[in-house]
Amino acid sequence: MKAVVWYGPHVIRLEERPLVEPGSGQVLIRPRYAGICGSDKKLYEYGVLGTHRPSQPFIMGHEAAGTVAAVGPGVEGLSTGDTVAVNPLLGCGQCFYCQRGEENLCERLTFRSITADGVFSEFFVLPAEQALRIPAGFDLRLAATIEPLSVGVQAMRRLPVQPSDSVLLIGAGTIGLGILGMLRCAGVPRVMAADLLDHACQQAREMGAAMVVNASREDLPQKAAAFFGPRGPDVVIEAAGAPEAQAEALEFVRPGGSVLLVGITGEALTPVNVNRITRSNLQVLGTVRATGESFRAAAELVISGRVRTAGWISQVFPFEQALQAFECASDPAYQLTKCLLEFPS
């Protein structure tokens, strides 16, 4: 079987790997569609994601949907041929965080493409609890968007936004769009979204942002003041993964308001005006990955159509063209939101 293997920035190879049988409690997954995440793009472009700097080749990807190709001994509730969405995260179930239901912070976390091989391969073995059965016949392209949406679900659990809150969302990539979908579900009408790219702005409009600003050519502070009034928004959510946007988030939020940091930057660190946090009585929160509960909630939202993710999918590439897919996905000139790799059915 073939797999998409990372060797370094801008170096990925299609490699032959042995087909592995599922062991006890495991299933063999045949992915049909797998999404290229912003985090995959950071590893592709720079070879670094936050503090994670891989030193060995690894199989990329963590957003997949497909079918169960084989079932190992002792697996209950899944059969060959079932369609599933893959949760890339597995907590150890034992540590301090797992005991608290915060397996996204697990001390012995397994996360596909980060601590274990990813999903960009024709087959992969997975512990059965990471495969979530979805209705037969459901569009597997949409099912591949469950994982990125789960990050937005988790973010909104971290900072529940009230319908009366005004919100500035900086960054309308897939994660930002998922957050917009969640804000809409929560009945929050006063949302302004900002991005630097036209297609992202267009997507934000379609996901229901009341006001959208292309900050590459429009004056964001002026637009924000007009929309929110001089006091500023109650909540600012940073989903751009850029140091400038993180700094802006802390400046834009009103005194007494909340900032939620979702984006992951590269190695560049953001200088923080701590006095602004103290003197303006800010609440500053971070959020990372998603728990199984958030993953299941995201699946429910996608399957029911309460959050519509079809518009996120800009282009589908055969997985053999992974290199080209990464080149296009990383180049803003192509105006792509979510690229999927397609695997043979």
| Residues in contact with Zn ion by the rule CB under 5 A | 37, 91-92, 95, 98, 106
Q: Using CB atoms within 10 Å of the CB of residue 119, give its burial: 0 to 12 exposed, 13 to 18 middle, 19+ buried.
A: buried
User: Cα(first)–Cα(last) distance of the chain, in Å?
Assistant: 14
Comparison of 98 and 235: residue with beta carbon closer to Zn ion: 98
CB hemisphere CA count around 342 (13 angstroms): 11
The CB-of-302 to Zn ion minimum distance in angstroms stands at 15
> With respect to Zn ion, which residue has the nearer C-beta, 149 or 250?
149
Name the residue nearer to Zn ion (CB basis): 140 or 188: 140
- Min dist CB 108 to Zn ion, Å, is 5
Q: Which pair of structure tokens corresponds to residue 24?
A: 């006890």
Output the smallest distance, CB 121 to Zn ion, in A: 17
Judged by CB, which is closer to Zn ion: 95, or 210? Answer: 95
> What angle do helix axes 174-185 and 198-206 make, rounded to 10 degrees?
20
d(CA 192, CA 210): 6
What is the residue whose two structure tokens read 């809409």?
A: 184
Q: How, if at all, do strands 167-170 and 191-195 pair?
A: parallel
C-beta of 109: minimal distance to Zn ion in Å?
7
Nearest distance in Å: CB 199, Zn ion: 19
198's enclosing H/E stretch is helix 198-206
